[in-house]
Structure 1
Amino acid sequence: MARVKRGNIARKRRNKILRLARGFRGSNGSLFRTANQRVMKALCNAYRDRRRRKRDFRRLWIARINAASRLNGLSYSRLVGSLKKANIKLNRKMLALLALADPTSFANVVVVAKS
């Protein structure tokens, strides 16, 4: 049976991992075995946190809307319910931006939703 030479392929595989590990501290960025472990963990964290980011931003928007709506005499849940009844289709991101950047417009939206 012929001998299999893996020089090129193995080096490319290792260099790909080391390229991904560039900037990691200590041997995590320079030694293949530790770099491989760190890269695998980093990719897992990145995958998980891309999904978590969506949750975190939604929570932030809800907290901002709740604070602004309470200043206008309404709780968050009542505001969202009355917005649905009034058929005002503003998503949470836009409502939070409105509450932060332009409180008077947000107050107008709350007044329209109340009526």
Structure 2
Amino acid sequence: MARVKSGKVTHARHRKVIKEASGYYSARSRNFRTATQAVDKANQYATRDRKVRKRNFRALWIQRINAAVREIDPALTYSRFINALSLAGIEVDRKVLADLAVNEPAAFAGIVEKARAAMPAAA
């Protein structure tokens, strides 16, 4: 049986990992073993943080909506506003609401007024 040399394949694999680790500090960008660990950990963080990014943006949208609603009516809270939207039959997601609150305050104020009109009278 012929001897199989894997030098080309191994070199290519090492080069691929080192290229992925370019920009890392010190040995993490130069030594294959250290670079492999660093790249693996970076990929774990990337996978986890794709979910976290969605979480963070939703929290940001909620903060922006709450601030804009309280600017229009200090007695109205975020949760009451969202409840009033569903009572009014307005189906706009938080991303769009936050964008309206920041870029088109007049349109957002109109939505708040419609939601406030749909709220039941306080007991």
TM-score range, shorter chain: over 0.9
Q: Please give the root-mean-square deviation of Cα atoms over the aligned residues, in Å.
A: 1.2
Deviation at 1:2, TM superposition (A): 4.5
Structure-1 residue corresponding to 2:105: 103
2:55 aligned partner: 55
SS in 1 for 2:46: helix
Residue identity opposite 1:97 in structure 2: D
1:1-115 paired onto structure 2 within 5 Å = 2-73=2-73, 74-115=76-117
SS at match of 1:23: coil
1:4 shift after superposition: 3.0
What does the per-residue CA deviation read over 1:22-63, in whole Å, with 9 as the maximum and x for residues that have no partner?
111111111101111110111111111111000000000001
Gaps of 5+ in 2: 118-123
C-alpha separation between the residues in 2 aligned to 1:68 and 1:34? 49
Q: Within 1, Cα distance between the matches of 2:2 and 2:87? A: 76
Structure 1 unmatched runs, 5+:
none
Question: Alignment identity in percent?
Answer: 47
Partner deviation per Cα, 1:64-87 (whole Å, 9 max, x = no partner): 101111122211011111111111
SS of equivalent to 1:88: coil
Using the alignment, how far apart are the partners of 1:111 and 1:72 within structure 2?
9
**Normalization by structure 2: what TM-score?**
0.88
Separation in 1 of the partners of 2:79 and 2:58?
Answer: 14
Report the Cα distance in structure 1 between the residues aligned to 2:29 and 2:17, rounded to whole angstroms: 9
Separation in 1, partners of 2:2, 2:78: 72
| Structure 1 residue 8, shift from structure 2 partner | 1.2
TM (norm. structure 1) is 0.94
